[in-house]
A and B are shown apart, each in its own frame.
Chain A
Amino acid sequence: MSAVTTQGVRPGARTTGRRRAGLPGTLRSELTKIISVRSTYWALAVLVLTSVVWSIAFCAGTAAHWAHMSAQSRAGFDPTQSSVIGLVLFGQLVIAVLGALTITAEYSTQAIRTSLTVMPRRGVVYGAKAAVFAAVAVAVAFPASFLAWFVGQRLLASTHAEATLGQPNVLRAVVASAIFVVLCGLFSYGLGAVLRSTAGTITAAYGFMFLLPQLARALPTSWYNDAIRWLPGGQFDGAISTSGPPISSHLFSTWGEIAVLGGYTAVVLIAGALLLRRRDA
């Protein structure tokens, strides 16, 4: 019987050693996938553009009004936060779409079945997708953050209020903004693996990151102050403040807020992995 059952499998095709389809090939495959569709470039271009345009609008506007601003508002002006807040606010929207699409586009076209047929080890597919997406997000979010910051400071030069990277908390804010965007993307990716629908995932991701902190405002103030630091993306603008007290003194530190979002992201990513492995494709 054993002679019969091995029939149809060519010698060498089934290997007993280490050689088998694995992570390196799947990483290459996922990279090919993400760079071979236009939507990736569109999304990333929008991400960079909105960040920079926001920085230009905010910083150029402030520079133009600087002469008429009160000493108090001048003191309260945060040149770093003002230049990277566009990346944080709009970047999370764009990256959430891209993160979701990385996996939900395969569900909507049913291409996920092909992906899992050519690489039946689902954890490898899932991990490779996440890794390639994260790499692309990092490669775009960091330059976008620094670019927005530099452009903003350049426009603020006339005010002499511009920040330098050497000042306290400035580099931290620029880097944290980029990390925030990357984490939002991964959060949305994990959510996509759980929900398997583009519309559903984007709605849920926006709900978590945008709507939840807004809804929390309905809570009694003392509850809100206790809760806000625990919400994903809740008042992240406060966490990247460099001058004066944060907008809300009830937040953890910048890295603390990154860690909170990182924690939610990890939970969602793990849930996505478990469901992908357990469910029928």
Chain B
Amino acid sequence: MIEARSLTKRYGSTAAVSDLSFTIRPGIVTGFLGPNGAGKTTTMRMILGLDYPTAGTVTIGGVPYARLAYPMREVGALLEARAVNGGRTARSHLLSLAQTNDISRRRVDEVLGIVGLADVAGKRSRGFSLGMSQRLGIAATLLGDPQILMFDEPVNGLDPEGIVWIRTFMRSLAAEGRTVLVSSHLMSEMENTADHLIVIGRGHLIADCSMKEFIARSSGQAVLVRTPHRDVLATAVMAAGGTVSDSGDELAVHGLSEDQVADLAFANGVRVHHLAPTKVSLEQAFMELTADSVDYHAELPASREPAQHSTEARR
């Protein structure tokens, strides 16, 4: 359980994190989302006592991180997989970490086995691929068999196999009842991994809800209908409280479920050739919610974005 209360971090006059409050619960994977520069890493550093908050507090099971008796036995954190001295072997690196918390040598070999690095335990980590470095970083988080695990952008730069491995691994950690916090800016990845989301933009909390709720909030959620009687159905939808927009040769209905739309069509004698709910991806929902809080915008070709999104973003 990680609890942040009114967490704030200012650098001079710029606020990296503003008045952030959240609770991260055990037993699920919590995704920590935000565009680059949103304050994810700063927040994680404050959780770990590396950066001092300008205001507010953050605690681990009710205690500030720096006061934990054996930090590694309670929290395992991976901020940057490449942040190791490449001249040291995997085993020496892990041993040096284990020793600070009175963790045995045997456990070092155990975690090397868990992450599949037993064969290269005696190799200097300089020659490791990014995937191997990532595994080494994860091995370090497991040394103390902690109940809370934090990973900052763990799938960055990994190949598909590595991504699947990390995803499966994080889910199994959560299934064991542990608290798992994963930050990412890769939405498609989060969609497959996280149960709960904490979304921040420019240091502010944008959403703290389940993945389902987050996607449902998106205005992109629609029912697409292909029908020769577009106008009739559109009128009926609007009368029923929904809204419509054009989506190519189909009519996009917002605010009504597919059942409601099908019933409306039937009631109005509208022939329907095709009716399907759009699956809004987390990515779309995220873009919409954070449109105002992205620091660096690039112009997107208009055709790449669904019509109502671009109007929304420009508003």
Contact = CB atoms under 8 A, between A and B. Distances in A.
B100 A25 contact: yes
Contacts of A9: 1, 60-63, 74, 147
A67 interface: no
Nearest to A26: B100
Nearest to A119: B100
Interface string B1-35: 10100000000000000000000001000000000
Interface stretch (B83-91, B194-202, B228-236, B301-309): B83-91
Interface size range on B against A: 35 or more
Nearest to B47: A117
Given A7-B26, A8-B61, A20-B69, A281 B50 contact: yes
A218 interface: no
Contact of B83 (A2, A21, A33, A109): A109
Interface in A1-51: 2, 4-10, 13-15, 19-21, 25-26, 28-30, 32-33, 36-39
Contacts of B88: 33, 36-37
B214 to A, nearest CB: 24
A20 B147 contact: no
A14 B65 CA distance: 12
B71 A117 contact: yes
B71 A21 contact: yes
Interface of A: 2, 4-10, 13-15, 19-21, 25-26, 28-30, 32-33, 36-39, 105-106, 109-111, 113-121, 280-281
Nearest to B74: A13
Nearest to B2: A8
Interface in B29-79: 45, 48-52, 59-63, 65-66, 68-75, 77, 79
Given A13-B147, A32-B95, 16 more contacts: A5-B59, A5-B62, A7-B1, A10-B147, A14-B69, A25-B100, A29-B96, A29-B98, A36-B87, A36-B96, A109-B84, A113-B50, A114-B140, A118-B100, A119-B100, A120-B48
Interface of B: 1, 3, 26, 45, 48-52, 59-63, 65-66, 68-75, 77, 79-80, 82-89, 92-93, 95-102, 140, 147-148, 179
Contacts, number: 140
B235 to A, nearest CB: 52
Nearest to B1: A8
Contacts of A114: 79, 83-84, 97, 140
Contacts of A21: 69-72, 100-102
Contact of A25 (B83, B85, B99): B99
A14 B74 contact: yes
A91 B118 CA distance: 40
Contacts of B59: 5
A2 B62 CA distance: 8
26 contacts: A5-B3, A8-B1, A9-B61, A13-B70, A13-B147, A14-B74, A21-B70, A21-B100, A26-B100, A29-B96, A33-B92, A37-B85, A37-B88, A110-B79, A110-B83, A111-B84, A111-B85, A113-B45, A113-B48, A113-B83, A117-B75, A118-B101, A119-B101, A120-B66, A280-B50, A280-B51
Nearest to B101: A21
